[in-house]
């Protein structure tokens, strides 16, 4: 590769995230089981070094933040042990009727009607959480999101609410005064009529759209509305976490395409659990896995040549606890280099003897195979 080509490749670290002082929302997402929680936890630790205050939120129903930091977190921001400016909270992006503002057991009919809209519970719950977060004074907020499918649904909820409102308006126009009569029958004409619930949904939709505008990449808006001569800064970015396997590559490509469609900025990919070809590795299985991984890593670089691609090594132990997270954080800022083993003469002779024995075993196996073919 030419020197000029190497200079054009973005740096393989997350330093660009730390340097981008305008960032307010940082989403970390990807396929299930690729290490999103570990990466988002380390990213929040790194941001805490350069920002006045950082909040990390888990929106995955299967919360792992408590396990990563080895500290119990709840739906209220809790200061992480060992830090003065890093807070964490775990919220469930699903909601029960009693959790939806303005809806309680007295208007079951309207409540059931509203909840019949696909995705409305997640949308309203997430909107409430974002409204709560907006009132908090944190310089940057990191989201440890659920697996890709759930995350994409959350990105779609402005349109989900819009479609839901359209359906309810259609029902209202179709059935005329039926809803009002039923509301009067249940004694809920004023406070719990269809106009009231539609008003609540309209208000929730306004909140979501306001947040959604912050999520969108302003550069996309400038491309769409070139006549606007307004200088805007990126408030949001999405970091895709994956592993070097086919399904994860496919999921990442789908995620990047969806983020582009929603005009949400993304320019960082973290490839986790990478096996490096260290000289001491003798396992045939590991060698085969390395070759497979390298094939997909090469595809990542071809598909995302303008992304910051950070490769993280697969470790023999879990990364749990603040000290382990801090230690592993160095690989986010400096590309990992496998250690170069300097063997002694005795160790080299031992390795040569092992290779000779493997060669003798292979020759014996070949001879047995030939004799078996001759008999056949």
Q: Any idea which residues carry the catalytic annotation?
A: 60
Characterize 207-244 residue by residue with b for buried, 16 or more Cβ atoms within 10 angstroms of its Cβ, and e for exposed.
bbeebbeebbbbeeeeeeeeeeeeeeebbbbbbbbbbb
* Interatomic CA distance for residues 196 and 192, integer angstroms: 6
> H/E/C letters for each residue in the chain?
CCHHHHHHCCCCCCHHHHHCCCCCEEEEEECCCCCHHHHHHHHHHHHHHHCCCEEEEECCCCCCHHHHHCCCCCCCCEECCCCCCEEEEECCCCCCHHHCCCCCHHHHHHHHHHHCCCCHHHHHHHHHHHHHHHCCCCCEEEEECCCHHHHHHHHCHHHHHHHHHHHHHHHHHHHCCHHHHHHHHCCCCCCCCHHHHHHHHHHHHHHHHHHHHHHECHHHHHHHCCCCCCCCCCCEEEEEEECCCHHHHHHHHHHHHHHHHCCECCCEEEEEEECCCCCCCCCHHHHHHHHHHHHHHHHHHHHCCCCEEEEEECCCCCCCCHHHHHHHCHHHHCCCCCCCCCCCHHHHHHHHHHHHHHHHHHHHHHHHHHHHHHHC
Side-chain half-sphere CA neighbours of 328 within 13 A: 27
In sequence order, what E strands does 80-199 have? 86-90, 140-144
């Amino acid at each position: 590769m030419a020197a000029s080509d190497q200079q054009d490749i973005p740096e393989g670290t997350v330093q660009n995230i730390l340097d981008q002082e305008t960032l307010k929302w940082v989403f970390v997402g990807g396929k299930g089981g690729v290490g999103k929680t570990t990466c988002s936890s380390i990213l929040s630790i790194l941001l805490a070094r350069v920002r006045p205050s950082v909040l990390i939120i888990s929106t995955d129903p299967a919360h792992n933040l408590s396990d990563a930091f080895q500290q119990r977190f709840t739906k209220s921001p809790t200061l992480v042990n060992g830090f003065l400016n890093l807070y964490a909270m775990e919220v469930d992006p699903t909601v029960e009727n009693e959790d939806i503002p303005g809806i309680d057991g007295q208007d079951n009919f309207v409540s059931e009607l509203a909840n019949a809209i696909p995705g409305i519970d997640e949308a309203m719950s997430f909107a409430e959480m974002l409204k709560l977060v907006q009132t908090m004074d944190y310089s940057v907020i990191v989201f440890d999101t659920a697996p890709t499918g759930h995350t994409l649904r959350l990105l779609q909820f402005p349109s989900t609410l819009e479609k839901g409102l359209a359906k309810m308006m259609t029902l209202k126009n179709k059935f005329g005064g039926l809803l009002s009569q039923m509301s009067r029958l249940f004694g809920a004409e004023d406070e719990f009529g269809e106009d009231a619930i539609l008003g609540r949904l309209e208000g929730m939709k306004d909140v979501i759209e306001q947040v959604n505008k912050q999520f969108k990449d302003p550069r996309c808006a400038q491309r769409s509305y070139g006549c606007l001569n307004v200088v805007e800064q990126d408030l949001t970015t999405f970091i895709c976490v994956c592993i070097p396997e086919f399904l994860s590559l496919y999921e990442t490509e789908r995620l990047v395409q969806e983020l582009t469609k929603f005009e949400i900025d993304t320019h960082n990919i973290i490839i986790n659990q990478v096996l490096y070809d260290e000289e001491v590795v003798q396992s045939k299985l590991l060698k085969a896995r390395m070759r497979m991984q390298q094939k997909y890593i090469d595809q990542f670089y071809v598909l995302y040549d303008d992304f910051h691609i950070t490769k993280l090594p697969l470790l023999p132990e879990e990364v749990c606890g603040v000290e382990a997270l801090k230690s592993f954080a160095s690989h986010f800022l400096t590309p990992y280099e496998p250690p170069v083993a300097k063997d002694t003469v005795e160790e080299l002779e031992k390795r040569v003897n092992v290779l000779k024995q493997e060669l003798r075993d292979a020759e014996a196996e070949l001879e047995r195979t030939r004799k078996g073919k001759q008999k056949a």
